Chain A
């Protein structure tokens, strides 16, 4: 009985490392296609549209509401200490340091990542990848690389939009509705938020989240069992793995960036 369990654990472990290895090999293959992409910028444009432009609506609307909620909640807590003028700093710091990159990463995984997995998985299931190979076209470089690069470019931009809209939403609630002094709101924010420590780190965070989410989505699609059931399971896995990756990476990055 125990031996059986051990054996199963061992098999599971081997399968895990095998997948991990395949994921990294795929990453290398995708990255090796980056140069070829320079000659075909139209491929990248199309994917920037799919991954970036089509995610703008959900990102900006979410950013607006998150910013407004932060301002509402923050106001009540800060008002107890008579520190309402710190509202701008609170809202901006939460958005730029954490919520912008993290929520954007999660939304991107749900909106674009799942779609990527389904698209790639279906292409595999309908032999389109084999078809490309037989046309002497490398499907990894032709199909996957532009999507990876587009994800890398899109997520930091989306996260910045999220934070910017969130700050505007926060100022709308804080200054417009709760009557915090406008000058204090902005000046406190400006003296708290540091360009290097906060804004650059926010960009780095969102870049890494974008990388992780896109990589996971593409790998799950490329590695899925080419049946309708396999594609649907891969899609679920993409969202779950991406969410875990974003949150786990966020903890590590925060510890490195803001620790000590």
Chain B
């Protein structure tokens, strides 16, 4: 029994449909996130990668399809069960989403204080350890607005790890970072994953960095999974969409132009009154 559960994927998505207004964002996608691995979800901007994370954590609900986390179907989970499940999850937001009115230390201590009755001395020790892991023990008394973008993301990572989650979701962790902090984050994500036997989901469009750390990669385009596999398999892929994405070609299946009527028609058309 234990064995079969262990071999099951941690997150199992089947036939997921989601649309925002008239725009279809996901048109029936299947994704398996394996335990203890770093799974990356890639795709051009606007393919709804962040939306996927929100669906997995049920901050929003899908139109149809199922999402199972560790064997629990989250579509129909009650409020309290959902919160129990979320305590086992950590999420790193693009902006860090630190609480701006309390210090770095208090931010990391926040989930611990909310969910445990630990003694103050114990909390302090835990927080300092988490901050040490991201190399920011010295910044504990700073306020979030005194941090650089990369530092804020590392504090947020320490906070996401505060309750020792089983799965961590990273939303575009590399966007807008200088090469040094990008390198630090790449190293941290891999290290944390291996050291605490985590399952990691990484949403990104930074090909080079993601290929460095991901065990498996899903490429999403136009609401569908167009390719899946290890970084090497991806590089060898014949799919035009994957090629364009991996090699950063300006035109291909994903057009350079936003959908529009032909240029000649548009220019010659009479101006609207």
Contact = CB atoms under 8 A, between A and B. Distances in A.
Interface of A: 122-123, 126-128, 130-138, 142
B58 to A, nearest CB: 9
A127 B84 contact: no
29 contacts: A123-B99, A123-B100, A126-B95, A127-B93, A127-B94, A127-B95, A127-B97, A128-B97, A128-B98, A130-B59, A130-B91, A130-B97, A131-B98, A133-B57, A133-B59, A134-B59, A134-B86, A134-B89, A134-B91, A134-B160, A135-B86, A135-B87, A135-B110, A135-B114, A135-B163, A136-B84, A136-B115, A137-B111, A138-B83
Contacts of A126: 95, 97, 100
A202 to B, nearest CB: 34
B43 interface: no
B90 interface: yes
A131 B87 contact: no
B3 to A, nearest CB: 29
Contacts of B115: 136
A122 B83 CA distance: 24
A132 B86 CA distance: 10
Contacts of B90: 134
Contacts of B98: 128, 131
Interface of B: 54, 57, 59, 83-84, 86-87, 89-91, 93-95, 97-100, 110-111, 114-115, 156, 159-160, 163
A216 to B, nearest CB: 22
B99 A128 contact: yes
A231 to B, nearest CB: 14
Given A127-B97, A136-B84, 6 more contacts: A131-B91, A131-B156, A134-B91, A135-B87, A136-B86, A138-B83
Q: Which of A123, A131, A135 has the most CB of B within 10 A?
A: A135
Nearest 3 Cβ contacts at the A-B interface: A131-B97, A127-B97, A136-B86
Q: Which of A131, A133, A137 has the most CB of B within 10 A?
A: A131
Contacts of B99: 123, 128, 131-132
A133 B57 CA distance: 9
A136 B156 CA distance: 15
Contacts of B89: 134
A137 B112 CA distance: 11
